[in-house]
């Protein structure tokens, strides 16, 4: 059986849809409730490598908590990583991880590649 890791927030409809899509495609799903079990810096770096994107691109800038970061115009990669580790609510969701790759699965198109 194929295994997938889902970085999941059960209160998010798109995250629940991703879970359902994975289950319907026959994946064994390991759920990472990232709000209760925040990613470490090492885990986040590994995930970013699989996503092949900079940390800033997976930050939920419309999240109310984003404002608490202050002026982010001068943020460098490490600043974004620290912000995500310290504020897991800012992590874009849902993220699906399969062995060597990962992607943000917000759209139906992103789920169709399963």
Active-site hit among 10, 12, 57, 99: 12
Phi/psi of residue 86, nearest 5 degrees: -80, -20
State yes or no: is 98 an active-site residue.
no
The tokens of 44 are what? 């986040």
DSSP one-letter code for 107: S
Which residue, 30, 25, 36, 1, is CA-closest to 95? Answer: 30
Catalytically active residues are: 12
């Amino acid at each position: 059986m194929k295994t997938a890791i889902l970085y999941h927030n059960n209160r998010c409809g798109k995250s629940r849809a991703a879970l359902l899509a994975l289950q319907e495609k026959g994946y064994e799903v390991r759920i990472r409730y990232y709000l209760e079990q925040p990613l470490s810096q090492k885990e986040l770096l590994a995930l970013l490598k699989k996503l092949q994107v900079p940390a800033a691109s997976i930050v939920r800038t419309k999240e109310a908590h984003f404002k608490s970061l202050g002026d982010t115009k001068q943020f460098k990669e490490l600043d974004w990583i620290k912000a995500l580790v310290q504020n897991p609510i800012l992590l874009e969701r849902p993220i699906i991880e399969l062995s060597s790759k990962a992607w943000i699965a917000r759209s139906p198109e992103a789920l169709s590649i399963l």
